[in-house]
Amino acid sequence: MSVRHVLLWSGGFDSTAVLLSMVDDPKNFPHVRVVSCGLKNAANYEEDKAARAAIRTSLVESGDSMSHIEFARELELDIDVYGGTQSAVWAWLAAMNVGNQDDDTTIVCGYIRGDDFWHTKSEWEWTVDYMVKLANPKGVHFMFPLEWTTKKENVAKYLKHPSVFYKLSWVATPKR
């Protein structure tokens, strides 16, 4: 039985910082499945989709070993995006990617304490765990590696991968 990590990846600053940590640490993250979902009605849909594609390409072309990282096929959903929709979609995506695996699986999220998500974190974990238990009685573990960090502290994750930083969906590059 191997330990699996399922990273919920938006292509933004926080989840990409976690991805970079996992890329650089195959010993502690021997099998990582990276999952993402594009919400077609979100205002930043095209920007986020392009960022994820550019980051994937940059990492694959970097020359670093990526044998322990698996990028799942990105899903695209055409649903209304408002309020807690994103949290529900991430819960569904997390549970779907654990499924009935015999492996000991950990869902990894790049949220930082104080983000909007934190007021419903416990309910979100319970929801994902119950959805997973429909197919896998073992349930799932959760990891929030950035929980007690700040955005400023997480910039260090990009030092080995500077080209990735400029591909993030929120980084605006000046037009010439």
Q: What is residue 139's predicted lDDT score, i.e. its pLDDT?
A: 82
Domain of 92, in residue numbers: 3-165
Helix axes of 85-98 and 121-133: crossing angle, nearest 10 degrees: 30
Is the model's pLDDT at 170 over the cut of 70?
no
The three-point CA angle 126-34-48 to 5° equals: 100
The total of structural domains in the chain comes to 1
Q: Measured between alpha carbons, how far is 173 from 176 in angstroms, rounded to an integer?
A: 9
Query: Which residue did the predictor score with more confidence, 128 or 118?
Result: 128
Q: Does residue 140 lie in a domain region?
A: yes
Is the model's pLDDT at 71 over the cut of 60?
yes
Q: Does residue 174 lie in a domain region?
A: no
Q: Does residue 127 lie in a domain region?
A: yes
pTM of the model: 0.86
Mean pLDDT, residues 28-35: 94
Q: Does residue 170 lie in a domain region?
A: no
Q: Does residue 171 lie in a domain region?
A: no
Q: Does residue 173 lie in a domain region?
A: no
Q: What is residue 81's predicted lDDT score, i.e. its pLDDT?
A: 61
Alpha helices in the chain (DSSP H): 13-23, 45-61, 85-98, 121-133, 151-154, 162-165
